[in-house]
Chains A and B, each alone.
Chain A
Amino acid sequence: DAGVTQSPTHLIKTRGQQVTLRCSPKSGHDTVSWYQQALGQGPQFIFQYYEEEERQRGNFPDRFSGHQFPNYSSELNVNALLLGDSALYLCASSSQAYSNQPQHFGDGTRLSIL
């Protein structure tokens, strides 16, 4: 049973560029959440997707956007990249039907902005 998978593992971009990160949830999960983890910090909630719609959003600018597909996989898009966007981006999945079960995390995508 595959867990949460994220791609790519590492990515290097320059300021002003745009990036797309991808996530496949654990089998049986229908909800995807995205977190940003800066170096030496705890993860910060970006947003959550369920039924292909954004359900909750953290304190992140509109440069951060996302999408969920009918197969429950998700993308995180970041436009106009800033140096401060360098971080580990974590995807977590869960099930609405079993909302008392914790989220499962992927290994993340490490994004470096030059």
Chain B
Amino acid sequence: GNSVTQMEGPVTLSEEAFLTINCTYTATGYPSLFWYVQYPGEGLQLLLKATKADDKGSNKGFEATYRKETTSFHLEKGSVQVSDSAVYFCALSDEGFQKLVFGTGTRLLVSP
């Protein structure tokens, strides 16, 4: 079945550092890929998405590129802020964005 694997956290960075959170997936066909963010006490917010190979999703300074050859969708940001501290989930959907399969999440802690 479909699955998503994320790097374990927590990832601890200083403000303005470069961020990479690794995500790889296993799926049949051509899934759509997502990054969601969860702040404490809240639900999930869509951060960015990509629907086909080589697509780059971007939002709020975050970027991720759909790499079919390496089955990866790594999240990057050039300069993190304290306010980026949250849990980040990589996810895939194989049928029209309906059923989502999530990774286990990566907690990001950014210190001033």
Contacts and interface: CB of A to CB of B under 8 A. Distances in A.
B51 interface: yes
B31 interface: no
Given A43-B100, A94-B97, A94-B98, A102 B46 contact: yes
A33 B96 CA distance: 13
Contacts of B41: 107
Contact residue range for chain A? Answer: 20 to 34
Nearest to B36: A105
Nearest to A91: B43
Nearest to B42: A107
A100 interface: yes
Contacts of A44: 102
B44 interface: yes
Interface string B38-77: 0001111110010100000000000000000000000000
A76 interface: no
A99 B101 contact: no
A97 to B, nearest CB: 11
A56 interface: yes
Nearest to B41: A107
A43 B102 contact: yes
Given A42-B89, A42-B102, A103 B97 contact: yes
A48 interface: yes
A102 B97 contact: yes
B43 A106 contact: yes
A67 B97 CA distance: 21
Contacts of A106: 43
A41 B51 contact: no
Interface of B: 4, 34, 36, 41-46, 49, 51, 89, 91, 96-105
Pairs of residues from A and B, 10 with the lowest C-beta to C-beta distance, nearest first: A42-B102, A99-B96, A105-B43, A105-B44, A107-B43, A42-B104, A102-B46, A43-B102, A108-B43, A106-B43
